[in-house]
Structure 1
Amino acid sequence: MPVKLYDTRAFTEKFMPSSALRLLFKGDLTRFFIVRVEDIYRHVKHAVPASRSATHCCLYLTEGTASMKIGSAAYTIRQGEMLFVPAGQIFSFREGEVNKGYLCHFHPDVLIGKFGQSGLLQEFGFLQVWGYPHIIPDRQTAAFISQLFGRILFYYEERGLKNLNIIQSCLITLLCEANRAYQPAPGAGSGSAVSITNRFRALVFSHIKTRHRVADYAAMLNITPNHLNKTVRSVTGKTPSRWIDESIVMEAKVLLYQTELSIGEIAAETGLEDPSYFSRLFRKYEGMTPVQFRKMIEKS
């Protein structure tokens, strides 16, 4: 049974009471919303385990620090910095952090319309699953971005998505400012190596439930498994097989959290026919069995 992406309303309702939702958000949450981070923290008091949304997500801080796990990598941002979570990507964050800023969710379709076009989605590397999500603008650009977030929030609070045209134009400008500051992952290596690695990661994202062999991905990229192994390792510090294993485990964590599927059904959903092997793989990377992980979620 395939798992659907969380729509944004379902995600927010899981962590926030409906009365708070009515106060903070206006209009169709599956398309767009923006809120001050400090306002969300008044209602959300616990960590968010591995989850995914059908919308892009952007976090920008004006004070403090924030940590988030995106895919299998952990990031910490500070004042004037941003984190992007592409639509469909798996993310989680911990509780207890004190910070201020803006949190914005927007469906990819929001960038298409009166002032946007589908090609915009390809312009921003940070909205791709292979992109580097941590944006560190210079001081002047950070000031522009902060002003744009403030204006988007003003127009959203004023009339919700009835102001979509002006919200869209401000959002596109904001993303263009972020794109000026965008840098690939530190130490990413040569252009050719980065290109192969990005394509590999995109393929893993799309085929993780059916393809688990490095040789399969090498064939799709028309290179040898040895070349793929050396390239991905030089760019990311991890082997292709580790990327594949970690992606399987991340898919499993979402299924354990968002569904009531049995462990055997989750193993099958991730493309592993042997539940025992699945449990061993999960424990290798998480330090606990899938059953223990689910019990931990239920207690939280």
Structure 2
Amino acid sequence: MMKKIKSTSLNEFYQEAVSFTGKDIQTLLPPGIHKEIGHFNVFNISDTLKEVKRKQVMPYNRRAYYKISLIRGKNRAEYADKVINIENNALLFATPKVPYHWIPQDENQSGSFCVFTDEFLVKNKSGVVLDELPIFKSGGYPVFEITDEEAEEIGLTFRKMKKEIASDYEYKYDLLRNYVLELIHYGQKLQPATVLHPTQNAAVRIISLFIELLERQFPIESPNQKLQLRTAKEYAERLAIHVNHLNKTVKESTGKTTTEVISGRIVQEAKILLKQTDWNISEIAYSLGFEQVAHFSNFFKKQTSMAPLAFRS
């Protein structure tokens, strides 16, 4: 049985990091990071796999940050309807927008990865907007199979990161930003790994990643937080599949339409916000992606046969 690790924030990432490294949070956090805009850190993959059994799924489902990984070993990356097999070495770029599962195929795993928020690169004078870069755009599969020589070259950059993050150099985070950009540009010059189209278990992957992407939108923790994905088409675009394919798979697997599944989760969150917060109806409507209160009220009443205020009272 594959184990799926769920997490939605940097805080939860560090709680997990404590368990897989045996170190406390204060030790794991980079010195001086709280003085910075955004967040950055770097890890050894061998630490994260210390207690991971063979063939355990390691999904990247953390919506708060980006991740660049140098992975050395036999692995498989599973997207919604694509599977990428890696025999030796890979450079992987992960965005919070596109879910996938990474599955080690043997116990000989090594390498490094860094995590960072988009705000981390704000201070860079190049004015980089991560989601506008080809390597982080939705619909792609940024997994690059690389040679041993390329892996050594990329590994050197990660070693520089580890050395620099532990230093007391006043401008170390400016240097670390440059290292991140160096990896991004290195990846953009590479050719993507071969993408396969296996039919076996494709529906299972699509449903799993669709639900993962749906749940990643929640919980709504602030009236200023707005639901980003509302329609079947928007989810299909993130999963890089045709909306008709998503609709067919969801219907066959759940007996419900994609819209019904999405609406059901939105109304579930609406009930929580109505009962557990003091936000007004306008704030709740906005956070759930409704531009007008009347639209939210009509939606909620259609789903529950009650008006939002009546449910709250």
Q: Same fold judged by TM-score > 0.5? A: yes
Query: Which among 225, 240, 243 is matched to residue 240 of structure 1?
Result: 243
Q: Which residue of 2 aligns with 1:11?
A: 13
Q: Which residue of 2 aligns with 1:40?
A: 48
Q: State how far apart, in whole Å, the 2-side matches of 1:71 and 1:8 are.
A: 25
Q: State how far apart, in whole Å, the 1-side matches of 2:250 and 2:74 are.
A: 27
Shift of the 174–49 alpha-carbon distance from structure 1 to 2, 3 Å rule, reads closer
1:171: Cα distance to partner?
1.2
Contact 1:115–1:168 (CA<8 Å) still a contact in 2? no
1:210 aligns to 2:214 (yes or no)? no
For residues 110-154 of structure 1, what are the alpha-carbon distances to aligned partners after superposition, in whole Å with 9 as ceiling and x for unaligned? 22223431346423x221221222112455544332211111121
Shift of the 68–157 alpha-carbon distance from structure 1 to 2, 3 Å rule, reads farther
Q: Which residue of 2 aligns with 1:268?
A: 264
Contact 1:37–1:100 (CA<8 Å) still a contact in 2? yes
Partner secondary structure for residue 103 of structure 1: strand
Q: State how far apart, in whole Å, the 2-side matches of 1:141 and 1:107 are.
A: 26
Partner secondary structure for residue 60 of structure 1: strand
Query: Which among 65, 87, 105 is matched to residue 115 of structure 2?
Result: 105
Point out the structure with the larger helix share: 1
Q: State how far apart, in whole Å, the 2-side matches of 1:143 and 1:133 are.
A: 19
Q: State how far apart, in whole Å, the 2-side matches of 1:106 and 1:50 are.
A: 13
Shift of the 121–87 alpha-carbon distance from structure 1 to 2, 3 Å rule, reads same
Shift of the 135–161 alpha-carbon distance from structure 1 to 2, 3 Å rule, reads farther
AA in 2 matched with 1:69: E
Identical amino acids, percent of aligned pairs: 12
> Aligned residues, how many?
220
Shift of the 75–9 alpha-carbon distance from structure 1 to 2, 3 Å rule, reads farther
Contact 1:210–1:271 (CA<8 Å) still a contact in 2? no
AA in 2 matched with 1:66: N
Q: State how far apart, in whole Å, the 1-side matches of 2:267 and 2:146 are.
A: 40
With structure 2 as the length reference, what TM-score do the two structures score? 0.54
Q: Which residue of 2 aligns with 1:194?
A: none
Q: State how far apart, in whole Å, the 1-side matches of 2:169 and 2:115 are.
A: 13
Shift of the 19–122 alpha-carbon distance from structure 1 to 2, 3 Å rule, reads same
Shift of the 73–127 alpha-carbon distance from structure 1 to 2, 3 Å rule, reads same
Contact 1:55–1:108 (CA<8 Å) still a contact in 2? yes
1:213: Cα distance to partner?
6.4
Contact 2:84–2:194 (CA<8 Å) still a contact in 1? no
Q: State how far apart, in whole Å, the 1-side matches of 2:44 and 2:61 are.
A: 21
Contact 1:155–1:167 (CA<8 Å) still a contact in 2? yes
1:107: Cα distance to partner?
1.0
Higher mean alpha-carbon deviation, 167-176 vs 155-164, is at 155-164
With structure 1 as the length reference, what TM-score do the two structures score? 0.56
Q: State how far apart, in whole Å, the 1-side matches of 2:28 and 2:77 are.
A: 22
Q: Give ranges in structure 1 of 5+ residues lacking alignment.
A: 189-203, 219-231, 250-263, 273-300
Alignment of 1:129-140 (within 5 A): 129-137=138-146, 140=149
Query: Which among 131, 137, 155 is matched to residue 164 of structure 2?
Result: 155
Query: Which among 132, 140, 154 is matched to residue 145 of structure 1?
Result: 154
Q: Give ranges in structure 2 of 5+ residues lacking alignment.
A: 1-6, 198-212, 218-226, 253-259, 269-313
Contact 1:83–1:134 (CA<8 Å) still a contact in 2? yes
Q: State how far apart, in whole Å, the 2-side matches of 1:101 and 1:108 are.
A: 23
Shift of the 52–150 alpha-carbon distance from structure 1 to 2, 3 Å rule, reads same
Q: State how far apart, in whole Å, the 2-side matches of 1:245 and 1:20 are.
A: 46
For residues 206-242 of structure 1, what are the alpha-carbon distances to aligned partners after superposition, in whole Å with 9 as ceiling and x for unaligned? 999532369xx99xxxxxxxxxxxxx9xxx8x64322
Q: State how far apart, in whole Å, the 2-side matches of 1:110 and 1:208 are.
A: 22
